[in-house]
Amino acid sequence: MTDYGLDPRRVDPEYDRHGGFPVFEAAEPGPGFERFLAATRRLQDLAVSVNPDTATWEEAADDVEKLVALLEPHQAAEGVGPANRVPDLPGAGSLLMPPWHVTKFEPEGIELSVQFSRYHVGGNRAVHGGVLPLLFDSMFGMVIHATGRPISRTAFLHVDYRAITPIDVPLTATGWLREAEDRKAFVNADLRDADGKLLAEANGLMIRLLPGQP
């Protein structure tokens, strides 16, 4: 299993006084969760792209409501369910995240492979502009972990859109720590296509939590 997180207590003795994020262990929910994740991602694509007749919508709604009824009794607290805790799955097993895979995780920088789909389209088969800040913000957190800095929150995130981000093609995202000063960490990231063309780039400020801050 990919190790893409350091235990914050190793680098921050007062971590427990910061409030905020508990230490989440990697989960191993079994192959059923991977199948569920893949099927649900495909369902998201279909939900924003199909145009069936009324009867089919009714049948689909019945099936989804049955699935909700099946899963609802098993709701768990954050950090207990497997979502966002399975590093080997796309987006670490979180449907909130774009389906990325970590290909590099080092103090000098991180690298992700990511491929957007119909679910992420904002219009004209281009990835919605609001999806990219979500990707970059997630990357900023990974950069903080990769550099061994204590847990931090995003103070600001700025994105420049340089070209249309396409769907259904492999892309590469990279992130790195540009500068650090006390509680502040200035982070950069970019997104490129297979030919190296710059699609978007971001810069942001991550602030280490103080004791008692959530």
pLDDT tens, position by position, 19-50: 555 667 889 899 999 999 999 999 999 999 99
Residue 122: pLDDT above 70?
Answer: yes
- Looking at residues 77-93, what average pLDDT do you find? 91
The DSSP letter of residue 71 is H
Q: Are 186 and 44 in contact (CB under 8 A)?
A: no
Task: Tell me the two tokens of residue 14.
Answer: 């007062």
Which three-class secondary structure state does DSSP give residue 63? Answer: helix
Domains of the chain: 11-208 (3.10.129.10)
Q: Which residue has the tokens 């910061």?
A: 18
Based on the number of CB atoms within 10 Å of its own CB, is 204 exposed (0-12), middle (13-18) or buried (19 or more)?
buried
Of residues 9 and 202, more confidence is placed in: 202
Cβ contact 146:105 at 8 Å: yes
Looking at residue 149, its pLDDT comes to 87
CA-CA distance, 86 to 27, in Å (whole number)?
Answer: 5
pLDDT of residue 1: 32
**128-161: b or e for each residue (b if 16 or more CB lie within 10 Å)?**
eeebbbebbbbbbbbbbbbbebbbbbbeebebee
**Furthest CA-CA distance within the chain:** 60
CA-based R_g, the chain, Å: 19
pLDDT for 8 beyond 80: no
Q: Decide: 204 and 185 in contact? Cβ < 8 Å.
A: no
| Span 186-209, average pLDDT | 97
DSSP at 80: T
Q: What percent of the chain has pLDDT over 70?
A: 88
What's the sign of the alpha-carbon dihedral 131, 209, 91, 176? positive
116 CB-near residues (< 8 Å, 6+ apart): 98, 127, 131, 165, 166, 167, 168, 171
